[in-house]
């Protein structure tokens, strides 16, 4: 099935015409066919093996400042026209007349996946999960528990609107997670590693799976020798790829245009101003092939783009979805995203990262007399209005006399996003990325984050050492 076969073009035009027949300024239809599979292996036993499929359409109608939205799983002409009328009824504020819809030539995007996950035999998936379990346990007898998760989605969609947009895409994503528990004199310690890409099952090679399992186990084993972390304002070195989530949460959300237009961001009205260290160039890039946040087009039909948000410390632009850009008389930056057809699109990040520098990680560590080296950040909380954040550090070490020494027990990294941007004083050349899931207003979408090893001159460490 191609995205073009989701719905006939004549029906698309008929639905959009009906949606604006009584004075609508703008209408959009988003049709989606999604297949998802997941499996969990816990202690060498399959605990979950599920698959599902959903198809439907969401219709948005805008009249003045009011937006009406309706969604339906009925893709018949009757069902779609009924949803269009429901959305128009919500948005309607008067007026009349009929708007003729003229769609541009259909733009279809094909997936890079060569092996669709839902076509892969379940026995082969289980075999890879057992391999991960074997490799993790082989790293040491202290590994007491291994949990492996495998998930994939195949998402075909078509989007059209009354401005002439008419495009479709086929997005395939596959993810594999390994979580381990090690038991020792200091109690239980955990390790975690993901393997993920916007590709098919061909990405899940035994080599990638084995490497992830080995690192997850080694992380848990290393932490058995951990000691309480120091407290206070200390220099922090973030390992390549590990700190991207911090900048995504603490800075990225504040650069989304919905927050800007609501004056709910510390970055509102600051384009052209210095907001970060000269070493900071922050980019959101949906064109990064194979990365977890890769998009050929966004969920409003706009081609993805490489958007420079901060360049050499100067704020250059924000991220825009179709409707907010349209209202401001500018072009969308390709950041309109939605969880499913049953959700309205909003401004969302794709792959957000800081550009690499010229130093080596070894040089940065050697020039740090005392501080904390963060190998992996965990979950956290952020106030998007102020940029204040608290993040857990799931793998961290002490830096003493320019060397990484003792592993530290899990503790918190506490600070402020805008302040942290100004405290970057060294950036290495070892750029890497990590996959993640971004939550906003109840919607979850896949995103990528990234950065090279970098040093922050001072961040508050919430440790427990005396």
pLDDT (tens place) for every residue of the chain, 466 residues total: 567 679 999 999 999 999 999 888 999 999 999 999 999 999 999 998 899 999 999 999 999 889 999 999 999 999 999 999 999 988 875 443 444 456 778 888 989 999 999 899 999 999 999 999 999 999 999 999 999 999 999 999 999 999 999 999 999 999 999 999 999 987 899 999 999 999 999 999 999 999 999 999 999 999 999 999 999 999 999 999 988 999 998 899 999 999 999 999 999 999 999 999 999 999 999 999 999 999 999 999 999 999 999 999 999 999 999 989 998 999 999 999 999 999 999 999 999 999 999 999 999 999 999 999 999 998 888 887 888 999 999 999 999 999 999 999 989 999 999 999 999 999 999 999 999 999 999 999 999 999 999 999 999 998 666 5
**Which pLDDT belongs to residue 383?**
86
Q: How many helices (H) and strands (E) are present in the chain, helices listed first?
A: 9, 22
- DSSP letter, residue 246: H
Tokens, residue 12:
């698309």
**Which pLDDT belongs to residue 93?**
53
Tokens, residue 314:
């100067």
- 326/335 Cα distance (integer angstroms): 13
**Is-contact 212 163, C-beta < 8 A?**
no
Predicted TM-score (pTM) of the model is 0.94
Helix intervals (H) in 224-297: 244-247, 257-261
- What domains sit in the chain, N to C, each tagged with a CATH number? 3-223 (3.30.2290.10), 232-462 (no CATH)
Q: What single string gives the DSSP state of each residue in 358-425?
A: SB-HHHHHHT-SEEEEEEEEEEEEE-TTT-EEEEEEEEEEEEETTEEEEEE--EEEEEEHHHHHHTEE
Q: Is 329 helix (H, G, I), strand (E, B) or coil?
A: coil
Phi and psi, residue 326, nearest 5°: -60, -40
**Which pLDDT belongs to residue 101?**
57
**Which pLDDT belongs to residue 185?**
87
- 166/15 Cα distance (integer angstroms): 13
**Which pLDDT belongs to residue 393?**
93
**Which pLDDT belongs to residue 102?**
63
Q: Between vectors from CA 103 to CA 97 and to CA 104, what angle results, nearest 5°?
A: 145
**Which pLDDT belongs to residue 15?**
96
Helix (H) or strand (E) holding 285: strand 282-285
């Amino acid at each position: 099935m191609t995205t073009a076969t989701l719905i006939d073009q004549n029906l698309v035009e008929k639905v959009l015409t009906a949606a604006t027949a009584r004075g609508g300024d703008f209408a959009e239809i988003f049709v989606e066919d999604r297949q998802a599979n997941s499996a969990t292996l816990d202690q060498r036993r399959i605990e979950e093996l599920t698959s599902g499929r959903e198809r439907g359409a969401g219709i948005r109608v805008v009249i003045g400042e009011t937006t009406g939205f309706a969604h339906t799983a009925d893709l018949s002409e009757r069902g779609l026209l009924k949803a269009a009328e429901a959305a128009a009824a919500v948005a309607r504020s008067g007026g009349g007349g009929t708007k003729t819809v003229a769609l541009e030539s259909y733009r279809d995007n094909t997936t890079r996946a060569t092996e669709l996950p839902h076509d892969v035999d379940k026995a082969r998936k289980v075999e890879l999960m057992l391999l991960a379990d074997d490799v993790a346990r082989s790293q040491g007898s202290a590994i007491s528990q291994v949990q492996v998760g495998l998930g994939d989605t195949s998402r075909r969609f078509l989007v059209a609107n009354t401005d002439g947009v008419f495009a479709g895409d086929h997005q395939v994503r596959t993810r594999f997670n390994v979580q381990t528990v090690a038991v020792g004199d200091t109690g239980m310690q955990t390790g975690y590693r993901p393997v993920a890409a916007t590709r098919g099952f061909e990405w899940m090679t035994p080599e990638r799976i084995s490497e992830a399992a080995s690192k997850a186990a080694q992380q848990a084993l290393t932490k058995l020798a951990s000691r309480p972390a120091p407290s206070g304002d200390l220099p922090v070195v973030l390992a390549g790829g590990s700190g991207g989530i911090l900048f995504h949460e603490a800075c990225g959300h504040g650069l989304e245009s919905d927050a800007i237009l609501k004056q709910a961001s510390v970055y509102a009205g600051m384009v052209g101003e210095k907001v970060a260290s000269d070493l900071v160039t922050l980019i959101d890039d949906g064109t990064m092939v194979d990365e977890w946040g890769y998009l050929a087009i966004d969920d409003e039909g706009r081609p993805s783009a490489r958007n420079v948000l901060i360049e050499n410390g100067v704020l250059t632009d924000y991220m825009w979805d179709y409707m907010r850009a349209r209202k401001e008389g500018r072009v969308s930056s390709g950041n309109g995203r939605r969880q499913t057809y049953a959700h309205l699109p909003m401004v969302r990040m794709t792959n957000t990262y800081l550009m690499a520098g010229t130093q080596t990680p070894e040089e940065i560590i050697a020039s740090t007399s005392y501080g904390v080296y963060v190998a992996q950040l965990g979950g956290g909380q952020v106030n998007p209005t102020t940029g204040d954040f608290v993040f857990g550090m799931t793998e961290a070490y002490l830096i003493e006399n320019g060397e990484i020494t003792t592993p530290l027990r899990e503790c918190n990294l506490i600070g402020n996003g805008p302040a942290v941007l100004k405290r970057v004083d060294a950036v290495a050349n070892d750029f890497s990325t990590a996959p993640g899931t971004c939550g906003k207003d109840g919607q979850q979408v896949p995103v990528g984050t990234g950065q090279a090893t970098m040093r922050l001159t001072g961040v508050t460490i919430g440790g427990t050492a005396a």
